[in-house]
């Protein structure tokens, strides 16, 4: 299996609804994509080769897939709680940064 085929399988995994890569490789790639990847490897051997192509994959993602900044940024509004509400006054690590906030799940102390 070539490096480009391994990178293609790794990228396609993120565009599918599979949560487990082993399940994706064993039941989707080996069965449904057998005609696209004729020289398939065992799952264990694929994982060994996956580590070898990580640098090439990161270079590909850096060059081709990351978009340019247009000046417009979107921020995820998910709250990041720092500690339990009862321990707010004892927290020293994020004392100057974290604040109290309210989300759909209730009150929290964090970002």
Over residues 22-27, the mean pLDDT reads: 89
pLDDT of 17 reads: 84
State pTM to two decimals. Answer: 0.56
Does 12 or 87 have the greater pLDDT score? 12
**Per-residue pLDDT reduced to its tens digit, 27-82:** 898 888 888 888 888 988 988 888 888 888 888 888 877 767 677 766 666 666 77
* Cα dist from 68 to 14, 15, 72, whole Å: 21, 21, 10
Question: CA–CA separation, 7 vs 1, rounded Å?
Answer: 10
Question: CA–CA separation, 87 vs 32, rounded Å?
Answer: 52
CA torsion angle 12 16 19 23 (round to 10) = -70
pLDDT of 77 reads: 65
pLDDT of 61 reads: 80
Q: Does position 95 have pLDDT exceeding 80, yes or no? A: no
pLDDT of 107 reads: 76
Over residues 8-19, the mean pLDDT reads: 86
Does 88 or 55 have the greater pLDDT score? 55
């Amino acid at each position: 299996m070539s490096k480009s085929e391994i990178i293609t399988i790794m990228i396609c995994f993120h565009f599918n609804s599979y949560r487990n890569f082993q399940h994706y490789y064993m039941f989707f790639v080996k069965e449904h994509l057998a005609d696209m990847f004729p020289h398939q490897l065992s799952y264990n051997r694929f994982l060994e080769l996956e580590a070898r192509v990580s640098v090439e994959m990161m270079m590909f993602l850096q060059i081709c897939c990351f978009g340019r900044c247009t000046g417009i940024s979107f921020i995820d509004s998910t709250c990041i709680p720092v500690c339990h509400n009862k321990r707010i006054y004892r927290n020293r690590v994020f004392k100057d940064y974290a604040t109290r906030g309210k989300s759909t799940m209730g009150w929290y102390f964090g970002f």
